[in-house]
Amino acid sequence: MTEAPYYIALDGLDGSGKSSQLNLLVRALLANGIDCHHIREPGGTDVGAKLREIVLTGEHDKLDGIGEALLFSADRRQTMLKVTKPALDAGQWVVSDRSFLTTTVFQGYGRGLSLELLETLHRIAIEDVRPHVQIILDIPVEIGLSRKGVQIEAGLDEARFENMGVSFHQRVREGYHAEAAKDDHIVLVDADADLVTVHNRVVEALNGKLGISLTPLPREKVLI
């Protein structure tokens, strides 16, 4: 059933449910007998955690698009060299909260950087180790921002990209759709639904793309 190791990334707008769904996916994999590495970008290593602080806090126009792309790429490279590649080489699955696709859509479609330039940067940063599947949790911008607004008000999250304005996030969403249309490794999953439904859709998408048969968590285990 499990032709290991697979490298899976979840992507999507802020507040689309990536962290929530990653958590469920990691638990579902465990229940299917698969112990995986769970990473997040930015910030998957000690160096990355410092980079995350630089990039995600403070004023939204502190760095220009190229500065952002370079810092995110530095973090991504560190995570690739120190965590992702060693894990895959050792035969372990890796599931990641975001991937290079985030930089393509935020700095490319959102900020207007050249997609060719970003593609070159990705090749350097990740040495062409790409996820087998990139799942985009697709939601309308207003829903993501309203979910995030609740977290920011509660002091649980950084607000930098949320302050970029609705039209920025709209371009980012269109970017996700455009990239999904171009690349067979990318799957759009409708994430405008409850946690259980989205979890089932994520597992179904993975099974379809990878030709495997993971069982999703039962409803009562999602809702604890």
Ligand X SMILES: Nc1ncnc2c1ncn2[C@@H]1O[C@H](COP(=O)(O)OP(=O)(O)OP(=O)(O)O)[C@@H](O)[C@H]1O
Binding site residues, ligand X, CB under 6 A = 12, 14-20, 147-148, 150-151, 157, 194-195, 198
Binding mask 100-139 for Mg ion (x = CB under 5 A): ----------------------------------------
Q: Least separation, in Å, of the C-beta of 198 and Mg ion?
A: 14
Alpha helices for 57-165 (secondary structure H): 65-79, 85-89, 100-103, 115-126, 141-153
27 binds, among ligand X, Mg ion, none (CB under 5 to 8 A by kind): none
Q: Shortest gap between Cβ of 14 and ligand X (angstroms)?
A: 4
User: Which is closer to Mg ion, CB of 4 or CB of 49?
Assistant: 49
Residue 26 three-state SS? helix
CA distances from 54 to 43, 47, 117, 159, 184 (A): 11, 11, 23, 13, 33
Q: How far is the CB of 157 from ligand X (least distance, A)?
A: 6
Using CA atoms, how far apart are residues 36 and 156, in angstroms rounded to an integer? 26
| Cβ proximity to Mg ion, 19 vs 167, nearer residue | 19
Beta carbon nearer to ligand X, 117 or 195: 195
The answer to whether 13 touches 144, Cβ cutoff 8 Å, is yes
Q: Which two tokens stand for residue 120?
A: 């070159």
Residue placing its CB nearer to Mg ion in the complex, 18 or 169: 18
Residues within window 5-24 making contact with Mg ion, judged by CB under 5 A: 18-19
* Residue 17 touches which of ligand X, Mg ion, none (Cβ within 5-8 Å per kind): ligand X
Say how many CA atoms lie within 13 Å of 180 toward its Cβ.
18
Q: Give the integer Cα–Cα distance in Å for 40 and 9.
A: 9
Q: Nearest approach, Cβ of 200 to ligand X (angstroms)? A: 11
Pairing assessment for the beta strands 7-12 and 36-40 based on DSSP bridges: unpaired
Task: Name which of Mg ion, ligand X, none residue 102 binds, using a CB cut-off of 5 to 8 Å depending on partner kind.
Answer: none
From ligand X, Mg ion, none, interface partner of 147 (C-beta below 5 to 8 A by class): ligand X
Choice between 2 and 151, CB closer to ligand X: 151
Nearer to ligand X, 53 or 89 (CB): 53
Pair 199, 207: CB distance under 8 Å: no
User: For residue 12, with 0-12 CB atoms within 10 Å meaning exposed, 13-18 middle and 19 or more buried, which class applies?
Assistant: buried
Binding residues (CB under 5 A) for Mg ion: these are 18-19
